[in-house]
A and B are shown apart, each in its own frame.
Chain A
Amino acid sequence: AQKVTQAQTEISVVEKEDVTLDCVYETRDTTYYLFWYKQPPSGELVFLIRRNSFDEQNEISGRYSWNFQKSTSSFNFTITASQVVDSAVYFCALSPPRTGGGADGLTFGKGTHLIIQP
């Protein structure tokens, strides 16, 4: 069975502070994919990143960076110099490999509500 744990239910920081959202996962698959999604108040989930389990390189995209550590089954997300517009619920998710028309969905964590105060 797969499981994703986001232990931080809510984080509140002041604008311009750096903030890290934690994600720990469990899976018996040797190959899998990890995702981060952002859910603003409007409701839709916005795709941020997809990471293959074979690729342990950290990634940076502007103010966003991701730290994937297979040894500790963690895939943490850091926002540098946070802004009010970063306020949202952030979800970490796990997917097994899918080939052909295989039909597996994502396993989501409970999400972390990030509040950036001006």
Chain B
Amino acid sequence: ETGVTQTPRHLVMGMTNKKSLKCEQHLGHNAMYWYKQSAKKPLELMFVYSLEERVENNSVPSRFSPECPNSSHLFLHLHTLQPEDSALYLCASSPGGGYGYTFGSGTRLTVV
């Protein structure tokens, strides 16, 4: 158990479906992140939430929509995805100040 919990672990969805990924941390960290890990590519930062601000990477398609209802929970809402969106989606949290990031085990997403 890493302290950051992601559900579900695996998800298969059709291109017309709507689903959500959930991330939860009770480490008291100030920032939470969504990363995408595709085969043969570096981990890509998608979204960041901190106590003060939400930072969004403008290159993330609008079919990905993050939500952070409180400092312990982070969601990634998915709709009308494409097969190329199939990847491992990792959530992380950090106390800030350049300290280490704690990652969850990820959600393996397959879009069919």
B2 touches A44 (CB 8 A): yes
Chain A residues within an 8 Å CB radius of B30: 101
With A103-B31, A103-B49 already in contact, the answer to whether A50 and B103 are too (CB < 8 A) is: no
Within 8 Å by CB of B48, from A33, A50, A105, lies: A105
Chain B residues within an 8 Å CB radius of A73: none
Chain A residues within an 8 Å CB radius of B101: 35, 45, 47, 106
Q: Chain A interface: which of B18-26, B50-58, B59-67, B75-83?
A: B50-58
With A43-B105, A50-B98, A95-B98 already in contact, the answer to whether A103 and B50 are too (CB < 8 A) is: yes
Chain B residues within an 8 Å CB radius of A99: 96-97
Expressed in whole angstroms, the minimum distance between the Cβ of A9 and any Cβ of chain B is 9
Is B15's beta carbon under 8 Å from chain A?
no
With A43-B88, A101-B50 already in contact, the answer to whether A109 and B42 are too (CB < 8 A) is: yes
Within 8 Å by CB of B51, from A91, A95, A101, lies: A101
Is A108's beta carbon under 8 Å from chain B?
yes
For the complex, what is the distance from the CA of A96 to the CA of B96, rounded to whole Å?
A: 11
List residues of A whose CB falls within 8 A of some B CB: 4, 32-33, 35, 37, 42-47, 50, 52, 91, 95-111
